[in-house]
Amino acid sequence: MARLLNLWVNGEQVQLSVRDDETLLDVIRDRLMLTGTKRGCGEGQCGHCTVILNGKAINSCLTLALEAEGGQVLTIEGLAEGDRLHPIQKAYVEAGAIQCGYCTPGMVMAIYSLLQQRRKPNEEEIREAIKGVMCRCTGYYKIIDAVKRVSAEGLQNA
């Protein structure tokens, strides 16, 4: 059975018909063609599908699209302003935190969520915030360095 879904994605209103079993990840990637959000394990274990829903980092593969009704969704595509990287993205590049890049969108969104709650998190808080996003390449050190760079600079848009 299909139902009408209304939500805001990256600041734009979206209305579409979705199946009851369709996930938010399915809608983001397959229907809205926002492929920055990655499809990893499909079981909520890897965190590669992390997006922000109503201010909270979530695994979009575990969230039914209809659960987002009326909500505000922010994906990796919604962070940058045109060609200008978001401060988190910029710090990520400067710290050399990108290896294969597959976890990068989910990791950046988890970091974004953390910095919305804590402007200057300590290392323990950073590790806690990113523990749900699996990275096989970096060892997490450069990722943590990127978060420290952003919070040390006190960037207003982080």
Claim to verify: residue 128 and residue 66 sit in the same structural domain? no
Residue 137: inside a domain: yes
Domain boundary among 78, 108, 125: 78
CATH number of domain containing 60: 3.10.20.30
Closest C-alpha among 94, 91, 96 to residue 108:
91
Q: Indicate the pTM of the whole model.
A: 0.91
Q: What per-residue string of b and e applies to 1-17 under the rule 16 or more CB within 10 Å gives b?
A: eeeebebbbbeeebeee
Domain interval for residue 12: 2-78
pLDDT values of the chain reduced to their tens digit, one per residue, 158 residues: 899 999 999 999 999 999 999 999 999 999 999 999 999 999 999 999 999 999 999 999 999 999 999 999 999 999 999 889 999 999 999 998 888 889 999 999 999 999 999 989 999 999 999 999 998 887 888 899 999 989 887 654 44
Task: Please give the Cα distance from 75 to 80 (Å, whole number).
Answer: 10
Claim to verify: residue 119 and residue 62 sit in the same structural domain? no
Domain boundary among 78, 111, 132: 78
Extract the tokens encoding 115. Answer: 């910095």
Claim to verify: residue 71 and residue 95 sit in the same structural domain? no
Number of domains in the chain: 2
